[in-house]
A = this chain, B = another copy of it.
Amino acid sequence: MVQRLTVLFLFLTAGTFPASDDVLTHVAKHADRFAAISRQIWESPELGFHENKSSALLQQELAANGFEVSAGVAGMPTAFTAKWGSGKPVIAILGEFDALPGLSQKDSPTESPVQVGAPGHGCGHNLLGAAAALAAVAIKEELQTSGLKGTLRFYGTPAEEGGGGKIYMLHAGLFRDVDAVITWHPGDSNRVNLNSSLATNGGSFTFHGIASHAAAAPERGRSALDGAMIMLNAIEFLREHIPQESRIHYIINNGGSAANVVPAKAEVTLIARHPDANIVSAIWERILKCAQAGALASETTFEFEQGTNYANVLPNDVLSDILGRAMQKAGGYDFTPEEQQFAEQLGRTLGGAVKTPGPSHIDVSKNEGVGGASTDVGDVSWVVPTAQFNAATFVPGVAAHTWQAAACAGSSIGRKGMLVAARTLALAGVELFQNPKEVQAAHEAFEKRLAGRNWTTHIPTNGRPPLDYAVR
């Protein structure tokens, strides 16, 4: 998740953190094993909906620690929930574990794929899922020890990179009884804020025309590529007349198969984004009109196949405040000399001065920026009070979806950042079980941000996730 911050100003939160220190002891106890699991997942990077080994590893650990695991939920073989306890409140922790295509990389500071073109953990989800599971185990032990009441639930959420696993879990009603969701994401610094993400919608427009010999009888052909190009030209004119924070980007996947034949088929994949999901929907209506115009003017037809559709993250002021205090208690870390060398060597591949602070720094603010990326955590955040943060798993300056991020995700730096995350989640989780008023306040903050709006999605509720989306 690349962060493009239109930062406003910093506001440092002070205050003490009441939660029990014991949970940090539990984290420490299991830290090595979950670090090893993160490495195991890193070594077998699996694409969305195909995270068989990764999901199984996390399920095993949670089951071994007394969680009740439900596997293959919501029509997705690699999705699961793991429950401990019962009754209210229901506190959820989310864990992702899918990899990205083409980002295969060794844990080395120079570009060096394990296998060219193969998947890799360029978004650090090997760390994400492992840290979240580690926190769940630690919280569970604290609940056991302290006798605090309530349900702790871990969500193993597949295919965040475009497949939208969480959305199918929402459709299946798996979040219906949840009071609060906390999660995190790997990043290049430790930070908690009220940032959002870009809401996004996308998919493929396939135009169908009539083939004809392009030299002998062009007048008998109806070019599907013309349909696509008229649509896309119209999209370019649209840019001026939508809010400036919007994004529309596209590729032409299929622009005809032989230059001497009027193309009978052409395909465009297009994504639209904006910080507000409702505005994305309004823009999408206009994109559809452009597609219709392309078909109309070229006497072709088109069909649309829904792709990724993620809502923007609705930040939660109360949960974010808890996470901020938790992270300040959790603390950052320092590089060893070897890690420092690795970081410097990697930094030189980034081309440009880096202003990000180091991993010992904790940056807690009430910033309301908008990251340049999109996530299905956004959809969850419109249904349940949700908050997330970043931990410094990547060398400062490293962006997600790069070989540098994949290298860090397999290194000791990644594993140290993962521990910052686990400690933060664990502290915050215990806090939520301890203070019912915070849970209630989080709900009120949620309603305030929602301001009467409802979550909507273009992802159909038919229970048939596109299990092959990443391997087509």
Contacts and interface: CB of A to CB of B under 8 A. Distances in A.
Contact of A289 (B225, B241, B271, B297): B297
What range describes how many residues of A lie at the interface?
Answer: 35 or more
Contacts of A258: 251
A290 B286 contact: no
A45 interface: no
A299 interface: yes
Contacts of A122: none
Interface stretch (A208-216, A336-344, A434-442, A458-466): A208-216
Contact of A270 (B216, B259, B290): B259
A88 interface: no
Interface string A367-387: 000011110000000000000
A252 interface: yes
Given A214-B247, A243-B219, A296-B289, A229 B226 contact: no
Contacts of A372: 213, 215-217
A294 interface: yes
A241 B260 contact: no
Residue of A225, A242, A259, A298 with highest tally of chain B CB at under 10 A? A259
A155 B286 CA distance: 49
Contacts of A253: 255
A5 to B, nearest CB: 10
Given A2-B213, A218-B247, A240-B218, A292 B298 contact: no
Interface in A366-420: 371-374, 399, 401
A328 interface: no
B237 A226 contact: yes
A250 B297 CA distance: 17
A11 B214 CA distance: 30
Interface in A253-294: 253-260, 262-263, 269-271, 273, 286, 289-290, 292-294
A85 to B, nearest CB: 39
A200 to B, nearest CB: 8
A236 interface: yes
Contacts of A232: 229
A249 B240 contact: yes
Contacts of A299: 286, 289
A230 interface: yes
A298 to B, nearest CB: 7
A430 interface: no
Contacts of A2: 213, 216
B216 A4 contact: yes
Residue of A234, A248, A269 with highest tally of chain B CB at under 10 A? A234
Contacts of A290: 297
Contact of A249 (B214, B230, B238): B214
A122 to B, nearest CB: 13
Given A198-B215, A213-B372, A296-B296, A262 B250 contact: no
A248 B215 CA distance: 8
Nearest to A221: B241
A219 B241 contact: yes
A296 B293 contact: yes
A233 interface: yes
A251 B241 contact: no
Contact of A273 (B215, B289, B374): B215
A251 B239 contact: no
Contact of A251 (B230, B256, B293): B256
A222 interface: yes
Contact of A239 (B4, B240, B262, B371): B240
Nearest to A371: B216
14 contacts: A215-B271, A215-B273, A216-B371, A216-B372, A219-B241, A223-B241, A225-B251, A226-B240, A234-B297, A239-B240, A241-B262, A250-B256, A253-B255, A259-B270
Given A223-B241, A229-B233, A259-B269, 9 more contacts: A2-B216, A214-B249, A215-B247, A215-B374, A222-B241, A226-B241, A230-B230, A238-B298, A249-B262
Interface of A: 2, 4, 8-9, 198, 200, 202, 213-219, 221-223, 225-226, 229-234, 236-245, 247-260, 262-263, 269-271, 273, 286, 289-290, 292-294, 296-299, 371-374, 399, 401
